[in-house]
Each structure stands twice: as structure tokens, then as C-alpha cells.
């Protein structure tokens, strides 16, 4: 069947789905339909507006080391024109602190020099699709650090990884940490003012991509996909049933674990995907604090629920918006998430915070060491294209703007 006639459904209107739908269009596929369950596109790229200024409820920035993002922006003619970010580290009482104690700086330099040589042996980190994962990468990241004697780097990774809601390094396997933050991204992370931001927010990427896609269906959750006797696929939304030749799922894959054509192993695998519950609060405050503040004490598992970062992205010092980030508190916590956050804000000297908008994300999907060892990604990659169904999105690409573009473009190269 030629490209003109082949009907392709893309499920999910986040960055991955949009990059795939735009890429298919560019490759000459004329019958591409994108389904998004919400009334807005973008998924975890979610810009909001207050008094004429953009703020982010989801992703905040790109890094200078994001080469795939650079390529996409060039293609779509998007410029980096957003505010310069800054970062100051605090203790829970609002006093400024150094991220690495002076006496550890020598070890830090030595570990940083050693890191690229250690990473070089891991072939599975070099390709977009995840195959032949080396056994040590399946271990929790903190164990991987211990094996490789990266004592200071372990803490530095917590400051850059855990702080953004990506999870506890005693649980998340090294594979995820090192794909999300490879050596080049780690080095980029240390040059904060150079981060990429956009005046109109990360949603600038979404707006430009969506202009290239003909058939977008909003507010249309895909509930089921069934295989017909002719080998075509029926997509069932809340409203209608439509027939396609191929389907690409970029939405959370655990929500599709019930599909009738998966075998028992696949169902179990999809149900084993774990997430971080990460909350983003947009507060209006009388006097906006300056820049971006990271509260390093709150990164320990015992301080879950407390603020990990706050971000005041624009130089406004009177009434305005500040964005605050925190994991869910432990289940036995007597205080609600909002009470904890408000108390923290008051302790940091923020007066009269009023909640404007909040978002609870199912953030950073991952599978644990046992599931990796039992062959999760081999199964996923072997299933690509089977029954004309393809898999992309965060669990396949291992999140971040860069990795989602990388995986999505690679999927198109491999199969379309």
C-alpha cells in the first residue's frame, strides 16, 4: 500500500505524538490522525499565562546539549528568546548553602574526569532504542555509583535528578538516570544561564508542530484498539469507532495493558510501569522571590511532600506568580500536600501565597531492576510493528524533551 492510502493513527498529543505525526507528514503520509484525550495539546509541555507572562506547569527548559531539540527548532524556525534562569541552593530555613562542601571539590573534579570513560563502555546508552542493556545499568543508580566509586557525583545527581521529580536514586535504575542525564547533559546542567527557554513557553514547540499536522482530534480519549480479521485496527474513542492500517501509541502504555492482542507477559509488563507523583503549584504572591531556589534538604525520602524547587522565571518583584514543585507527601502524613507547601513558603519568607493553579503529574515512568532483568525492553522492542502497532512516548524514550524527540524520530527512521 502506498503512503497516500495508508491510514495511521497516533495516540497522544504530547511532544512524542506531535513529532511523530509531523514526521509522518514530512515523509509523505497523507492520512495521519492524531488523538488527544484532553482539550489541549502538549501533555507535559504545559505553558500557562498570568498578566501577559508565560509560566510552565510542565517542562521548563531545554539544555544546550540537546542536539535533537536544536534540529527540531531549526526546522520549525523557533528561536530561544525566553528568560535566563538562575539557581540558588537553600536549606529548609531559607539560608543559602553550597551544593558541594569545599572539602569534596577535589574528589568531584576527579570523578567528573573519570565519568565519560566509565560511560563509554555502555553501548545500550548510545542508541535511541533500548537493547542489550548491560546488567550493571539495571541496578538502582546509587548502587551503580557505589560500584564505580562516584561518591560526590551521587549527590550531584540527586541535586539535578531527584529535584526535578525524577525520583529516588536508591530505586530508579541507573539506565534511566544516565539516559536522562548523560555526561553532556550533566555538564550542560552546570551552566544554568545557558538553558533554553522561550518567551511564549515550551508550548511554542507544540504550536509550531501542530501547524504541520492536518487531522488533530482533541478531547477524544482512545479507549480501546481491536484487531480486525483483515489485519486492520479499530480505534474506539468516547464518540466513534474508526479504522486504521497502523497505530502508534505515545500515551502512557500502562493505560493500554488491556488490549486483546497482547499476551499475558505483555500485560504484566505494562502493569509494572511505575511513576513518580510530582506536583506543580502556581501561586500568586505579594512579593515574588528572586530566581530559582532549590531546597536540598528536601530531597531526602523522609522529606517527601516538602518543596524541592521554586521558580520565579521573570524579574518581577511585586505581585506575581511563583511556581513550586514537590513530591506527594507519604501516605500516612497528617498534613495535606497544600498545607505542607504553604508552611514551607511562609518559612522561606513568601507572604500571602494564593493558589492559582495546580497539576499532579504521573511523572518519570520507569520499571524496576527485577522487571528490567526479566527482559522488559527486549519484549517492547520485539513487539514494534507486530499487529501494525508501534510503541513510543516516555517509557520507551526515557523522558526529557531531547529523548522524546530522539526516540520518535528514530522510530520513524526504522519503520516508516
Applying CB under 6 A, the residues found at the interface with ligand FAD are 11-17, 35-38, 43-45, 58-62, 164-165, 221-222, 250-252, 255, 278, 280, 361, 363, 393-394, 399-402, 404
Residue 330: count of CB within 10 angstroms of its CB: 11
Q: 285 and 322 in contact (C-beta within 8 Å)?
A: yes
* Min CB(213)–ligand FAD separation in Å: 14
Q: What is the DSSP string of 256-321?
A: GTT-TTS-HHHHHHHHT-EEEEEEEEEEEESSPPSSEEEEGGGGSGGGTTSEEEEE--S---SSEE
In terms of Cβ atoms closer than 10 Å to its own Cβ (0-12, 13-18, 19+), residue 239 is exposed
- SS3 of 327, please? strand
* Min CB(62)–ligand FAD separation in Å: 6
- Which C-beta is closer to ligand FAD: that of 221 or that of 287? 221
* Min CB(248)–ligand FAD separation in Å: 11
- Which C-beta is closer to ligand FAD: that of 303 or that of 363? 363
- Which C-beta is closer to ligand FAD: that of 11 or that of 270? 11
* Min CB(150)–ligand FAD separation in Å: 23
- Which C-beta is closer to ligand FAD: that of 152 or that of 292? 292
Q: 55 and 49 in contact (C-beta within 8 Å)?
A: yes
N-term to C-term CA, the chain: 12
- Which C-beta is closer to ligand FAD: that of 204 or that of 250? 250
Which residues partner with 241 through β-bridges? 236
- Which C-beta is closer to ligand FAD: that of 216 or that of 345? 216
* Min CB(197)–ligand FAD separation in Å: 9
**Integer angstrom CA distances of residue 206 from 13, 78, 224, 229, 281:** 9, 11, 26, 37, 22
* Min CB(77)–ligand FAD separation in Å: 20
- Which C-beta is closer to ligand FAD: that of 51 or that of 238? 238
Strands (DSSP E) contained in 306-391 are 307-311, 320-327, 354-366, 389-391
* Min CB(101)–ligand FAD separation in Å: 27
**Integer angstrom CA distances of residue 331 from 143, 165, 168, 170:** 26, 17, 17, 19
* Min CB(36)–ligand FAD separation in Å: 5
* Min CB(220)–ligand FAD separation in Å: 7
Rounded Cα distance between 165 and 155, Å, is: 15
Cα 78 from chain centroid (whole Å): 21
- Which C-beta is closer to ligand FAD: that of 107 or that of 184? 184
- Which C-beta is closer to ligand FAD: that of 59 or that of 350? 59
Give every CB contact of residue 296 below 8 A, 6+ residues apart in sequence. Answer: 89, 90, 91, 97, 99, 159
Which residues partner with 281 through β-bridges? 324, 358
Rounded Cα distance between 323 and 55, Å, is: 8
* Min CB(114)–ligand FAD separation in Å: 26
In terms of Cβ atoms closer than 10 Å to its own Cβ (0-12, 13-18, 19+), residue 76 is middle
- Which C-beta is closer to ligand FAD: that of 150 or that of 310? 310
Nearest Cα to 391, choosing from 401, 375, 379, 374? 379
- Which C-beta is closer to ligand FAD: that of 62 or that of 329? 62
* Min CB(37)–ligand FAD separation in Å: 4
Amino acid at each position: 500500500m502506498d503512503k497516500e492510502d495508508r491510514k495511521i493513527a497516533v495516540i497522544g498529543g504530547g511532544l512524542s505524538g506531535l513529532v511523530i505525526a509531523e514526521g509522518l507528514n514530512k515523509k509523505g503520509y497523507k492520512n495521519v490522525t492524531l488523538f488527544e484525550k484532553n482539550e489541549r495539546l502538549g501533555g507535559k509541555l504545559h505553558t500557562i499565562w498570568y498578566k501577559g507572562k508565560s509560566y510552565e506547569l510542565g517542562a521548563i527548559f531545554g539544555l544546550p546539549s540537546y542536539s535533537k531539540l536544536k534540529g527540531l527548532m531549526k526546522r520549525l524556525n523557533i528561536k530561544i528568546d525566553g528568560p535566563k534562569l538562575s539557581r540558588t541552593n537553600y536549606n529548609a530555613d531559607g539560608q543559602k548553602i553550597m551544593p558541594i562542601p569545599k572539602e569534596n571539590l577535589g574528589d568531584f573534579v576527579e570523578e567528573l574526569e573519570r565519568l565519560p570513560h566509565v560511560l563509554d563502555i555502555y553501548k545500550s546508552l548510545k542508541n535511541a532504542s533500548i537493547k542489550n542493556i548491560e546488567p550493571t545499568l539495571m541496578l538502582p543508580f546509587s548502587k551503580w555509583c557505589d560500584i564505580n566509586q562516584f561518591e560526590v557525583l551521587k549527590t550531584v545527581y540527586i541535586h539535578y535528578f531527584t529535584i526535578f521529580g525524577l525520583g529516588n536514586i536508591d530505586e530508579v535504575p541507573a539506565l534511566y538516570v544516565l539516559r536522562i542525564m548523560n555526561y553532556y547533559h550533566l555538564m550542560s546542567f552546570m551552566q544554568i544561564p545557558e538553558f533554553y527557554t522561550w518567551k511564549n513557553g515550551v508550548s511554542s514547540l507544540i504550536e509550531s508542530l501542530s501547524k504541520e499536522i492536518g487531522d488533530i482530534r482533541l478531547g477524544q480519549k482512545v479507549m480501546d484498539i481491536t484487531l480486525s480479521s483483515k489485519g486492520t485496527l479499530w480505534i474506539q474513542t468516547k464518540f466513534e469507532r474508526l479504522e486504521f492500517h497502523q497505530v502508534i501509541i505515545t500515551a502512557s502504555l500502562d493505560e493500554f495493558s488491556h488490549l486483546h492482542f497482547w499476551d499475558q507477559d505483555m500485560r504484566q509488563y505494562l502493569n509494572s510501569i511505575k511513576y513518580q507523583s510530582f506536583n506543580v503549584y502556581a501561586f500568586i504572591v505579594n512579593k515574588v522571590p528572586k530566581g530559582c531556589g532549590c531546597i536540598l534538604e528536601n530531597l531526602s525520602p523522609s522529606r517527601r511532600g516538602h518543596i524541592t524547587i521554586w521558580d520565579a522565571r521573570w524579574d518581577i518583584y511585586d505581585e506575581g506568580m511563583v511556581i513550586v514543585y514537590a513530591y506527594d507527601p507519604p501516605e500516612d502524613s497528617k498534613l495535606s500536600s497544600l498545607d505542607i507547601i504553604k508552611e514551607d513558603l511562609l518559612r522561606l519568607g513568601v507572604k500571602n501565597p494564593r493558589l492559582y493553579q495546580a497539576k499532579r503529574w504521573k511523572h518519570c515512568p520507569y520499571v524496576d531492576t527485577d522487571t528490567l532483568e526479566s527482559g522488559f525492553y527486549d519484549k517492547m522492542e520485539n513487539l514494534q510493528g507486530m499487529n501494525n502497532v508501534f510503541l513510543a512516548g516516555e517509557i520507551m524514550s526515557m523522558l526529557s524533551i531531547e529523548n522524546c524527540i530522539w526516540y520518535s524520530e528514530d522510530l520513524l527512521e526504522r519503520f516508516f
